[in-house]
């Protein structure tokens, strides 16, 4: 008997992970509302337009990283390299535009493509060399960090000769609407991620691999090829995040990036994606990223020291993972 991946109704069956995670999404959304209410009461400045835009702007980079990471985690893998790979793509964008004099749009495209190449290399290591995702991405994390420092000469690369570059993140593509492009790009990428995950073969096989990789392989699916594709897509999301980070800072900072991978993974898990694979949604990841940003911003407004902010976020991640464990236990 063939596994369901060959069934023409696979699209319907693959919706079950989304449905089973609906409660987690509702709880995550309720948590977001509670945080918004709490911080709005604790600080009268919290709901000011400028602060809300700061929250969304800070969400954009972490959120896009988390969207790409969602694909990987649904397959049952993990990606620890997105933070430093983001930094490397920022540096490469700076090299293309500032050092080589490439036109801005082409330099942005090449910068994003460099993120895809990083994802391709990680995916190949996982799929072809059979290196566990934790080790493969840990190695890429160190490689990307080292390359970013070597290529930049350990110095920031500034985009002072490309005045329009910052508009990619801080400008606005909708006249009369004071919403930064980075925020609009984040929500646009969330829509793109949703379509890929729920309406394409990539999404179907992402869920299939995470649910039962061996059954998917036995059904005749080239699992290795799809893993490489999935990690490459995640790398492209990382490249976009890297370009936005560089545009927001108007510079490529080679020492930046460490720790971003943990925030991205936390956003994915808080949003209901199971670390064991097979379950997850882009909507949940967007909610998780917003929770992370609101929590960090609210604690900062309340003048909570940075070290305690980290402690609180750590506890939130533990609670999210524990909720995932309880959900899987009940499902069994």
pLDDT digits (tens, 9 = 90+) for 106-125: 999 999 999 999 999 999 99
Task: List the structure tokens of 128.
Answer: 């072809």
**Domain contains 3:** no
**111 part of a folded domain:** yes
Q: Per-residue pLDDT for 204 more than 80? A: yes
Residues 6+ apart with CB under 8 A from 79: 68, 69, 72, 73, 122, 133, 137, 231, 234, 261, 265
With tokens 């967007």, the residue in question is 286
**95 DSSP 8-state letter:** I
Contacts of 194 by beta carbon, 8 Å cutoff, 6+ apart:
281, 282, 283
In whole angstroms, give the CA distance from residue 161 to residue 101. Answer: 9
Q: How far apart are CA 282 and CA 190, in angstroms?
A: 6
Domain that holds residue 201: 50-155+173-331
- Digit-coded pLDDT (tens) for 46-74: 989 999 999 999 999 999 999 999 999 99
Tell me if 19 is assigned to some domain.
Answer: no
Q: Is residue 23 part of a domain?
A: no
Give residue-wise pLDDT tens across range 207-219: 999 999 999 999 9
pLDDT digits (tens, 9 = 90+) for 147-161: 999 999 999 999 988
On whether residue 279 sits in a domain, the answer given is yes
pTM: 0.90
What is the count of structural domains for the chain? 1
State the CB neighbour count (10 A cutoff) for residue 255: 13
Residues 6+ apart with CB under 8 A from 136: 122, 125, 126, 129
Q: What is the pLDDT of residues 228-280, one digit of tens each?
A: 999 999 999 999 999 999 999 999 999 988 889 988 999 999 998 988 889 99
Lowest mean pLDDT among 24-28, 63-67, 98-102, 111-115: 24-28
26 part of a folded domain: no
CATH number assigned to the domain comprising residue 247? 1.10.3470
* HSE, side-chain direction, 13 A CA sphere, residue 283: 13
Spatial CB neighbours of 125, under 8 Å, sequence gap ≥ 6: 131, 136, 139, 140
Residue 307 lies in a domain: yes
pLDDT at 102: 93
The distance in angstroms from the start CA to the end CA of the chain is 23
Strand partners, 252: 157
Confidence label for 332 from pLDDT (cuts 50, 70 and 90) = low
Q: What is the model's pLDDT at position 178?
A: 85
Domain-located, residue 177: yes
């Amino acid at each position: 008997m063939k596994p369901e991946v060959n069934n023409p109704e696979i699209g319907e069956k693959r919706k079950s992970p989304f449905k089973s995670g609906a409660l987690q999404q509702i709880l995550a959304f309720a948590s977001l509302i509670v945080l918004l209410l709490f911080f709005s009461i604790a600080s009268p400045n919290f709901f000011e337009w400028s602060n809300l835009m700061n929250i969304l702007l800070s969400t954009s980079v972490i959120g896009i990283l988390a969207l790409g990471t969602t694909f990987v985690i649904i397959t049952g893998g993990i990606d620890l390299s997105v933070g430093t790979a983001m930094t490397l793509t920022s540096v490469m964008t700076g090299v293309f535009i500032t050092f080589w004099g490439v036109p801005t749009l082409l330099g942005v495209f090449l910068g994003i493509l460099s993120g895809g190449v990083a994802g391709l290399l990680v995916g190949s290591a996982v799929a072809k060399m059979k290196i566990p995702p934790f080790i493969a991405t840990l190695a890429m994390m160190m490689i990307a960090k080292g390359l970013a420092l070597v290529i930049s000469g350990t110095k920031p690369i500034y985009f002072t000769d490309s005045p329009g570059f910052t508009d990619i993140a801080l400008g606005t593509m909708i006249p009369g609407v004071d919403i930064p492009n980075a925020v609009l790009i984040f929500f646009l990428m969330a829509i793109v991620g949703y379509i890929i995950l729920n309406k394409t073969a990539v999404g179907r096989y992402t869920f299939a691999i995470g649910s039962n990789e061996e059954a998917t392989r036995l059904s005749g699916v080239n699992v290795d090829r799809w893993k490489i594709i999935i990690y490459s897509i995640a790398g492209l999301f990382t490249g976009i995040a890297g370009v936005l980070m560089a545009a927001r800072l108007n510079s490529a900072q080679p020492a930046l990036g460490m720790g971003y991978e943990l925030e991205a993974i936390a956003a994915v898990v808080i949003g209901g994606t199971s670390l064991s694979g097979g379950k997850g949604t882009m909507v949940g990841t967007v909610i998780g990223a917003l929770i992370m940003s609101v929590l960090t911003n609210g604690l900062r407004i309340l003048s909570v020291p940075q070290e305690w902010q980290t402690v609180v976020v750590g506890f939130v991640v533990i609670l999210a993972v524990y909720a995932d464990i309880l959900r899987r236990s009940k499902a069994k």
